[in-house]
Structure 1
Amino acid sequence: MDTKLFQLTEIKEAAGLLKAGELISFPTETVYGLGANAMDEAAVKKVYAAKGRPSDNPLIVHVASVEEVEKYVGEISKQAKDLMAKFWPGPLTLIFNVKTGVFSETVTGGLASVALRMPDNAATLALIKYAGVPLVGPSANTSGKPSPTMAAHVYHDLHGKIAGILDGGATGLGLESTVLDMTNPEEPTILRPGAITKEELELVVEKVYLDQHLVSKDERPKAPGMKYTHYAPNEPVVIVDGTEEQWRKAIMYYKNLGEQVGLLANENRVNQYKKEVTEVFSLGNKDNTTQAAKALYAGLRFFEKTAVTLILAEAYDSKGIGGAYMNRLEKAAGNHYFLEKESKE
């Protein structure tokens, strides 16, 4: 299959392929999604096949208006309406109790709930409207790998597997949406952190909870990104969180093991150590966590084209969007932090 790169002037053509049951990747303000007609089970199954994604992992359904939500879910609480009014379109996914028979288990992962989002991207909203159907839209990458923030990333992973990619340039935020479980409106619960923080949500609803439990092997995850290894490049990732002495020890430790070390860190640290490692990628200003979050996936993907065999990645403060950054980085690293005791073993 040829994978066509669609320009923004060709949205209607891309929408026609979606209506015909084909897969089209689309840009959002977070990452690129892999779109299929959410009402067409055969099309949705193609998404799992293209990504190599486990079929018990639910998919986020993308809509073009708040009004569409009533078609797909049961009662919409006041809290949910207030959240949609404040944050839609935007990087917030809400999980609702789904109406019986609306979506197949292929979409919901066999759960009695569905995840909905209205992306803040004019081209993709037009794509949904022209297609005339809601679109599933998991990240347009091979399952478990870093999510794509440019059309070139999608092409690298999925060319020959999907019909096309709507090229909207680089995404704005670089990390997936915040996922908030609203199936119990009295206990809104964050299942996946994102750009919209707990503190921002609590300006709209009184109390928001944070689900930090680890999903077991046999448990069905309620949201994407909870169960399987996610966001990981081909090379192992080790997180460094400490002093300059800690960084020097980590670099020397892995170099002595024969690793070709890549450094994913703030621009000051990159400039300090770039002559001591194989490759570097800057996450930007050391005090700008938003910039680091936007650059994270591009950085992880960068090293796949180099001789690097191991990536040392910088930990950032987990406040605000830093919580989303650290959530993705810890999953990419399998929670592996460099500990000083390692260098003494």
Structure 2
Amino acid sequence: MNTGIFQTSIGNDLAIAADWLRQSELVAIPTETVYGLAGNALKEESVLKIFLAKDRPRFNPLILHVPDIDAVKKYVLGISPVMELLMNTFSPGPITFLLDKNPDLVSDVVTAGSSKVAVRIPAHPVTQALLKQLDFPLVAPSANRFGYVSPVTAAHVYEGLQGRIPYILDGGTCTVGVESTIVDEEDGQLIIRRTGKVSMEDIAKATGILPALKTHAEDHPVAPGMLKTHYATHTPLYLGNATDTSALAAGKKVIIMGWGSKESIAASYHFQGTTILLQVVSLSNDCRIDEVASKLFASMRNADNLGAEAILVEPFPNEGIGQAINDRLQRASVLH
């Protein structure tokens, strides 16, 4: 792809964004989770441009974005009672549903050949307003080059996709900070394919059903975000116990990330004399896990620009959105 084809601009004009999308071009859009790279879901020409702009493999499916539940029903063959309950409980919001697609409307290019389509109703008011101006749904994976850390500001999008897309619709900083939960259903069993803000506990409380966790697939993922290596910084990131990663980073220039005071984060690590500690990053001074999620990707991107040779981070409590945070860090980590 010619990466300099556009003079990419950033703005908040819905009419400009809608016009580009009607021309089958791509627009970066804000959501409550991360920025998405949007195209007309009903035009294969537009959908294929997403794969090219992101350097994204064609076997990785995309998520359909629609304004409301009535729109969801148009593009799927049906919604089970439990999935409709979840939709009514958590949508609009950071949750995506894998449903049997309407093959007359949803192309195999969108679903990577799967009979199911991932659909979500985003809560961000700017994108809600945009969707209501359009007579077609949008497909929108994260608006970054494939495999890199997802963008949570318009500036992040510009860094990665400048020249590749015409317009970035600026909606401020994303509030959730990690991608949506993806929930599937097979034979009456709920399955989480990707963890996110809506947790296993949230889903169990709403439905009375404890979902299974099946979040890994390499060759043919049934949902986005299932690849083993993803969300990665250019600087090697080590996720693990502070003692172990301190040893692995011996002699390197390092950045450490965690929560709480910077002093308490640093106290967990014990470096050899030749190791240079460039910076300590607290994702939440008062240990609020939602704040960690909202700052995670931006902090990872910032750490990439500081000349470090390693980024070290310990896992967070593995419950609620902490499960999603650990998932993203594990996929970014060089330690698998």
TM-score normalised over the length of structure 2: 0.91
Q: Which of 212, 230, 249 is residue 254 of structure 1 equivalent to?
A: 249
Q: Which residue of 2 aligns with 1:83?
A: 86
Question: Matched residue pairs, number?
Answer: 324
Q: Which of 33, 38, 43 is residue 40 of structure 1 equivalent to?
A: 43
Inter-partner Cα distance in structure 1 for 2:262 and 2:240: 12
Inter-partner Cα distance in structure 2 for 1:224 and 1:203: 25
Q: Which of 3, 9, 32 is residue 4 of structure 1 equivalent to?
A: 9
Shift of 1:241: 2.8
Shift of 1:213: 6.1
Shift of 1:194: 0.4
Q: Which of 162, 165, 183 is residue 162 of structure 1 equivalent to?
A: 165
Could you list the per-position Cα deviations for residues 32-68 of structure 1 after superposition, in whole angstroms to 9, with x for gaps in the alignment? 0000000010001000001010001110000001101
Moved more, 321-330 or 232-241: 232-241
Alignment RMSD (CA, Å): 1.9
Shift of 1:211: 3.0
Q: Which residue of 1 aligns with 2:271?
A: none
Inter-partner Cα distance in structure 2 for 1:185 and 1:121: 33
Shift of 1:272: 5.9
Shift of 1:279: 2.4
Q: Which residue of 2 aligns with 1:28?
A: 31
Inter-partner Cα distance in structure 2 for 1:312 and 1:234: 13
Pairing 1:308-323 to 2, within 5 Å after superposition? 308-323=308-323
SS at match of 1:263: strand
Could you list the per-position Cα deviations for residues 163-183 of structure 1 after superposition, in whole angstroms to 9, with x for gaps in the alignment? 11011110001000000013x
Runs of 4 or more off by more than 4 Å in structure 1? none
Q: Which residue of 2 aligns with 1:294?
A: 294
* Contact residue 96 and residue 182 of structure 2 kept, 8 A: yes
Q: Which residue of 1 aligns with 2:54?
A: 51
Structure 2 vs 1, CA of residues 304 and 79 (structure 1 numbering), >3 Å: closer, same or farther?
Answer: same
SS at match of 2:127: helix
SS at match of 1:179: strand
Gaps of 5+ in 1: 337-345
TM-score normalised over the length of structure 1: 0.89
Shift of 1:4: 1.4
Report percent identity of matched pairs.
Answer: 36
* Contact residue 39 and residue 134 of structure 1 kept, 8 A: yes
Q: Which residue of 2 aligns with 1:341?
A: none
SS at match of 1:277: strand
SS at match of 1:278: strand
1:27 alignment partner AA: P
* Contact residue 58 and residue 221 of structure 1 kept, 8 A: yes
Inter-partner Cα distance in structure 2 for 1:209 and 1:267: 31
Shift of 1:206: 2.3
Q: Which residue of 1 aligns with 2:63?
A: 60
* Contact residue 279 and residue 308 of structure 1 kept, 8 A: no
Shift of 1:286: 5.6
Shift of 1:280: 2.9
Inter-partner Cα distance in structure 1 for 2:28 and 2:19: 13
Could you list the per-position Cα deviations for residues 129-152 of structure 1 after superposition, in whole angstroms to 9, with x for gaps in the alignment? 212210001000111011001111
Q: Which residue of 1 aligns with 2:324?
A: 324
Inter-partner Cα distance in structure 1 for 2:266 and 2:46: 48
Q: Which residue of 2 aligns with 1:207?
A: 209
SS at match of 2:205: coil
Gaps of 5+ in 2: 1-5, 268-274
Shift of 1:214: 3.6
Q: Which residue of 1 aligns with 2:190?
A: 188
Structure 2 vs 1, CA of residues 223 and 104 (structure 1 numbering), >3 Å: closer, same or farther?
Answer: same
Q: Which residue of 2 aligns with 1:273?
A: 266
Inter-partner Cα distance in structure 1 for 2:8 and 2:162: 5
Pairing 1:128-143 to 2, within 5 Å after superposition? 128-143=131-146
Structure 2 vs 1, CA of residues 272 and 281 (structure 1 numbering), >3 Å: closer, same or farther?
Answer: closer
Inter-partner Cα distance in structure 1 for 2:102 and 2:315: 41
2:284 alignment partner AA: G
